[in-house]
Amino acid sequence: MRIVVIRHGKVLHNWKKWCSSVEFDEQCALYDSAPIDLAPINAVVNDVQTIYISTLDRTLQTAKKIFGEVDFKRTSSINEVPLRSGFDTAVKMPLWFWNVLGRLQWLTRSKRQPENKIQTAIRAEQFASLVVSRNENCAVVTHGFFMHALIKAMKKKGFQADKNRVVYSAGGAITLTQRKSGR
């Protein structure tokens, strides 16, 4: 069994460099609805029975670019890990601050973030179990931050990656194959 995990194409969104909390949350929403650059994507995918995409439009656009007009299985199970501002303020903070604070809150299970690390891991493990139970070659078009959790969940299920270090660049892919039994 082989699974090709693909990060969506490059999103055409120019982030504001300084944002209040409300502006950061607006920027995140704008990013989620922005189109992607339809330049060639380097993912090489052959012999897949099912193509899973998230419910965010950028994965649909990417999948159509790679596979054409075929049937895709949309699921929120592989959506990006959501992010929002770490606290309410009208003071403008740098973009990197909001991103780092949000991910630290995700790690520490802050109720401010819509999802925490444990919830993300559970979501990834549930999706991995679904894919393994179907026992078919597939492609998964998902998101950069979520890819970490998904690949970790697949490795727990006995898969190995074709690359030691995964590069999560836009349109980048990693192939996971099931290890042979008795190893």
The per-residue pLDDT for range 121-133, each reduced to its tens digit, is 999 999 999 999 9
pLDDT, mean of residues 1-14: 94
Over residues 3-28, the mean pLDDT reads 96
Query: What is the C-alpha to C-alpha distance for residues 34 and 12, in angstroms, rounded to an integer?
Result: 6
pLDDT exceeds 50 at position 182: no
pLDDT at 47: 87
In a domain, 123, yes or no: yes
pLDDT-wise least confident of 36-40, 86-90, 96-100:
36-40
Total tally of structural domains belonging to the chain:
1
Q: How many CA atoms lie less than 13 Å away from 17 in the CB half-sphere?
A: 0
Tell whether 183 is covered by a domain.
no
Give me 39's structure tokens.
């330049």
Mean pLDDT of 10-17: 96
What confidence category does residue 181 fall into, taking pLDDT thresholds of 50, 70 and 90?
low
CATH number at residue 153: 3.40.50.1240
Instruction: Say whether pLDDT at 76 is over 80.
Output: yes
What's the domain range around 132? 2-178
Grade residue 183 by pLDDT with cuts at 50, 70 and 90: very low
pLDDT at 83: 97
How far is it, in rounded angstroms, from Cα 133 to Cα 127? 10
> Residue 23: inside a domain, yes or no?
yes
Pick the range with the lowest mean pLDDT from 11-20, 35-44, 45-54, 103-112: 35-44
